[in-house]
Amino acid sequence: MVNVGILGATGMVGQRFIQLLENHPKFEIKALTASQRSAGKKYQDAVTWHLDTPIPESVEDIVVVDTDPGLVKDVEIVFSALPASNAAVVEPKFAEAGMKVASNASAMRMEPDVPLVIPEVNPEHLDLIEIQQKRRGWDGFIVTNPNCSTIALVLTLKPIYDQYDVNRVYVSTMQAVSGAGYNGVPSMAILDNMVPFIGEEEEKMEEETLYLLGDFDGETVEPASFGLSTSCHRVPVVDGHTEAVFMEMDEDFELEDIKKSMQEFQAIPQKLDLFSAPKNPIIVREEDNRPQPRMDRMREKGMAVTVGRLRQDASFPRSLKYVLLGHNTIRGAAGASILNAELIAEIM
Ligand SMILES: NC(=O)c1ccc[n+]([C@@H]2O[C@H](COP(=O)([O-])OP(=O)(O)OC[C@H]3O[C@@H](n4cnc5c(N)ncnc54)[C@H](OP(=O)(O)O)[C@@H]3O)[C@@H](O)[C@H]2O)c1
């Protein structure tokens, strides 16, 4: 077994890590960190647990420590669920101390020597790890996964982008409240309501999407160059981000071909049969009223993205429209980091 730690273990994403790593065949939780507010307490006393499965017995009595590499002993991998401002300072220290950091935070994502990876989309970007270690003189390293709404979008774009000339993509999101963390959106702001703005989300989605689908020459990533415009909104859903996608192609296409390439899409995590890999990363539904967060977010244990309403627009023949749904704290966060770590453990 590989000993792992979780940084920011008491938050929304930290709790998902703990839930998903219970009974993991390769990774065993040995250390939990959080802020000074939680440090020194047993995990069960430090956390306000929000998930619908109990706190695993194996972590209940682990004493939470401050997020300092000197206090995290005998651990090979740390999964980071820290706020970005904190991650920017702390994650490099963990990598410098020799640990492999699989991070959810946005702080290091766009650093040119830090891989931003979705295993089904751009596993080759992991080659940046060697460059990062050499350049920074680290024994450990940092690998990141994208923002939650970006992961779901890019998984569905990948099989289309591989086959067709995509000209422009417009995306409108309806994002769950858990995406902002437990204290992120007050109930008085969101119940019976919708908030048409999420700070920095549109910028992240646009930059990360083009980067993930970019060309990698072994040293640097040249972002993809199609047009991409997003509009991000917070809705009163607990978990599961929905996105309405409008795409304009530079060539004719058959709707059935697109559907088939989404349904049949598989990549290296499926070929290697990684523990957290969904068998089908994209599930296509035919019903007019799907996907829906409550019904579809847990497909393939929350690791698949569900697509519905796949159609062409009668007035724009080279346009494609669909609605997608992805679980933001599983496929969009903790599950994404775990899949990155599983891939690294298998191929490096
Ligand atoms: N939620 C999502 O859907 C999602 C998706 C993708 C990425 N992310 C990213 O994942 C990260 C965590 O998000 P979240 O939603 O889990 O946030 P959260 O619920 O607010 O949890 C934050 C965690 O970080 C700890 N923390 C806060 N300040 C700290 C400090 N100064 N030093 C050390 N630890 C500190 C907190 O500990 P205490 O309990 O002690 O305060 C808590 O464990 C963020 O970077 C976020 O952008 C979130």
* Atom of ligand 1 minimally distant from the CA of 64: 40
- For residue 314, the model assigns a pLDDT of 86
Q: Which long-range contacts (CB under 8 A, 24 or more apart) does 126-134 make?
A: 126/343, 126/344, 126/347, 126/348, 127/216, 127/218, 129/344, 129/348, 131/219
The dihedral formed by the CA atoms of 188, 191, 197 and 201, expressed in degrees to the nearest 10: 100
Mean pLDDT, all residues of the chain: 97
As annotated, the active-site residues are: 148, 241
Instruction: For the full predicted model, state whether its pTM sits above 0.75.
Output: yes
46 pLDDT band, cuts 50/70/90, is: very high
**Percent of the chain surpassing pLDDT 70:** 100
**274-314 pLDDT tens trace:** 999 999 999 999 999 999 999 999 999 999 999 999 999 88
Strands (E), 159-226: 166-174, 215-216, 221-222
- For residue 343, the model assigns a pLDDT of 98
Atom 25, ligand 1: which residue's CA is nearest? 8
**Percent of the chain surpassing pLDDT 90:** 98
Neighbours of 36 (CB within 10 A): 8
Taking residues 201-222, report their average pLDDT. Answer: 98
**3-19 pLDDT tens trace:** 999 999 999 999 999 99
CA distance 233 to 116: 24
Taking residues 240-264, report their average pLDDT. Answer: 97
Reply yes or no on domain 148-327 having CATH 3.30.360.10. yes
- Of 63, 104, 201, the one to substitute when testing ligand 1's pocket (max ligand atoms within 8 A of C-beta) is 104
Which CATH number among 1.20.140.10, 1.10.287.3510, 3.40.50.720, 2.60.40.10 corresponds to the domain 2-146+333-347? 3.40.50.720
Peptide bond into 25 cis (omega under 30): no
**164-187 pLDDT tens trace:** 999 999 999 999 999 999 889 999
Using alpha carbons only, give the angle 263, 173, 279 rounded to the nearest 5 degrees.
25
Taking residues 66-83, report their average pLDDT. Answer: 98
Atom 43, ligand 1: which residue's CA is nearest? 8
List Cβ neighbours of 186 (8 Å cut-off, separation of 6 or more): none
The dihedral formed by the CA atoms of 235, 237, 242 and 243, expressed in degrees to the nearest 10: 10
CA distances from 111 to 115, 132, 144, 209, 238 (A): 8, 10, 10, 15, 31
Q: Which amino acid is at 202?
A: E
The full set of domain ranges for the chain reads: 2-146+333-347, 148-327
- The answer to whether 281 touches 267, Cβ cutoff 8 Å, is yes
The residues lining ligand 1, judged by C-beta closer than 6 Å to any ligand atom, are: 8-14, 34-35, 37-38, 67, 81-84, 86, 104-106, 147-148, 178-179, 181-183, 328-329, 332-333
Expressed in angstroms and rounded, the spacing between residue 70 Cα and the centre of ligand 1 is 20
- For residue 313, the model assigns a pLDDT of 87
Taking residues 31-38, report their average pLDDT. Answer: 98
- For residue 327, the model assigns a pLDDT of 98
- For residue 154, the model assigns a pLDDT of 99
- For residue 317, the model assigns a pLDDT of 84
- Of 15, 35, 93, the one to substitute when testing ligand 1's pocket (max ligand atoms within 8 A of C-beta) is 35
